[in-house]
Structure 1
């Protein structure tokens, strides 16, 4: 449905003192390749400055990349480089819906008129009749649970209602592709959580292919069909939320998504996806689909919730003996920091398990829950 090929976008950088000539260029998008299927909620995830918003703006036509190709539904929106004539369809000719970080609603209009506006300004030969506009607007407002506010001034809605209104204005034109640029970031934590589920429900009911930009890992994991993790303008990994979380491809992805323990190790034995690692805290047995030769230095990435903690010996492989040095109550869980020799690991337990610092414990590291990532 959406295809992005070899997309590159640069901006002029700061000119060093005494530098003559044009300032050096900074790559905002560095050879990005993505494919999004129809009906997906596809998320671009990464820290500030990683290129995710520039990628979204390039799809929308608000930025002109240096080179590459963007195709939506078989229609080329942008193509430059490769010795071909440049194609760059204007933003208002792309027919895409967009919801911004700010609500950007018209304060002098009612809720109904805000949603109706994109239809009312369409060219006369494609503009729906007034009757059809009213029917479509009311249908969208009912879906968003805003129908009974149709005649209210938009500025008299709550923050969450205004965000839903902005979403309604984005979907009223029934776009092939809906672009969402951190639309929940201005809301408080409780409201963001409720609107995540609302947004996911609406996207599935309406079947609109959506590109969602966020730096919030929880938001990405809970909303997405697929996620592209970005860093320094490049895509680090693309996959389903569970795959990204449980099988990170590199240290950056493992560190950025959720919380992880990183243990430096060396592969001392490997056979059919079973590895034995030598670490400062002891030997680890790991089950992994990664292809890592014996003798390779790696980093074992272990999520805190994938380990078991006990005050009694555990009859299993991958059991380390240690001592609790700190703990933190998180509401639904307790994080324990356990010292195993010179190595410290973070273990997350149920809220009912809370062990005082100084307690001698046993940590069970599950072989199938350990990811191997390349050593930096």
Structure 2
């Protein structure tokens, strides 16, 4: 439905970067750098009806990618198409196609609600239809019918005549969504739409947004730096770093099988144990570490003798006061050095040799610091990532 091919967007480097590059050039160390990559050769496809998330830290290029799709930024090169409509194309020697933002027909919800304070809820939602070209503008009856239908879906129908500024934060966010979808866009772009809300409201609207997206079947691109949001909402996630997509996949796949330490650290919490690949037995890899031997079931093909990192999620670590007597794989002995009650779970920090391993258990398990414990880690729940 949406196809992005080899998208590149650069910006003028700041004064400090240009000065450093110029100094390096004078010393014969490097050429002068006048531009920096915000988006560096990004490609992906989004299928009809998907909620596709661009996830990453600030400055990774996710918002620039979204703005390029919307037509608010002009890329240096690449291709953007929605269905059979090419919205941008440049960089292969042909003439550039750059469809204006107002002709792309895409819906967009910004981080700020950007609602019109002097208008009622009904007029805010109807405005995008009323300002269309005369040849494309629906009649008054159709506008009213579409606005009322969207307001009911958003559970704002009883507030149609209220001034937009007299709504709560959550209601204003739903109003911004209603205004974006009333035009029935082929693609909905969402730029961190829940970031201005408090934690509890953000969580409730997260599920509401997922319900609406599924019911309406709108293909959506969602930008966020919140890993929980991305995992809860997405059909697929593209994790971005320094302008590049470093991993793309379904939420569970990215969480359980990160391909790099960056992805494992950014999405959730992990224990990282450094080691060296000692052998292979089918898809099971043996890794020798200073704390002991680990068996990891992994599709990552690292040769024997190569350095590797075993990523262990805290919830994949089972903690017990009794050992198996060596019958269980990946069983380590350690001492609890810290614990924290988190409401729905208890975290234990266990010292094993020179390493500290974090375990996450249900709230009924709480072991005092200083206690000797046994840690067991299922090979199927561990991930092997190469050393960056």
Correspondence for 1:244: 254
Q: How does 1:156-175 map to 2 (within 5 A)?
A: 156-175=166-185
CA offset digits 1:182-225 (Å, max 9, x no partner): 00000000000000000000000000000000000000000000
Match in the other structure for 2:135 = 125
Give, in angstroms, the shift of residue 22 of structure 1: 8.2
Give the C-alpha shift of residue 271 in structure 1.
Answer: 2.3
Give SS of 1:83's match.
Answer: coil
Aligned residues: 376
Q: Does the C-alpha gap of structure 1 residues 131 and 309 become closer, same or farther in structure 2, counting only changes over 3 Å?
A: same
Aligned with 1:89 (options 92, 99, 113): 99
SS of the aligned residue for 2:45 comes to strand
2:359 counterpart of 1:367: no
Partner of residue 136, structure 1: 146
TM-score by length of 1: 0.98
For residues 386 and 302 of structure 2, what CA distance do their matches in structure 1 show? 9
Give the aligned partner of residue 343 of structure 1: 355
SS across alignment from 1:230:
strand
**What residue is the counterpart of 2:200 in the other structure?**
190
The answer as to whether partners of 1:320 and 1:340 remain within 8 angstroms in 2 is yes
- How many angstroms apart in 2 are the aligned matches of 1:17 and 1:67? 27
CA distance in 2, matches of 1:247, 1:279: 20
- 2:92 match: secondary structure: coil
Name the stretch that deviates more: 217-226 or 262-271. Answer: 262-271
Q: 2:73 aligns with which of 63, 70, 87?
A: 63
Q: Report the counterpart of residue 7 of structure 1 in structure 2.
A: 7
Three-state SS of the structure 2 residue aligned to 1:62 is coil
- 2:235 maps to 225
Which of 93, 96, 111 aligns to 2:121? It is 111
Name the residue aligned to 1:321. Answer: 333
Let me know the Cα RMSD of the aligned residues.
1.2
Q: Give the deviation of 1:142 after TM superposition.
A: 0.2
3-state SS of 2:11 partner? strand
DSSP 3-state at the match of 1:77? strand
Question: Which position in structure 2 is the counterpart of 1:280?
Answer: 290
> How far does the alpha carbon of each residue in 1:22-57 deviate from its partner, in whole angstroms, 9 at most, with x for none?
861110000000100000000000000000000000
Aligned residue for 1:33, secondary structure, equals: strand
Q: Alpha-carbon deviation of 1:317?
A: 1.1
Structure 1, unaligned runs of 5 or more: none
Instruction: Tell me the TM-score normalized by structure 2.
Output: 0.95
Question: How far apart, in 2, do the equivalents of 1:90 and 1:122 lie?
Answer: 15
Distance 1:284 1:253 in 2: 21
- Report the 3-state secondary structure (helix = DSSP H, G, I; strand = E; otherwise coil) of the residue aligned with 2:308: strand
Separation in 1, partners of 2:284, 2:199: 42
Deviates more, 1:122-131 or 1:309-318: 309-318
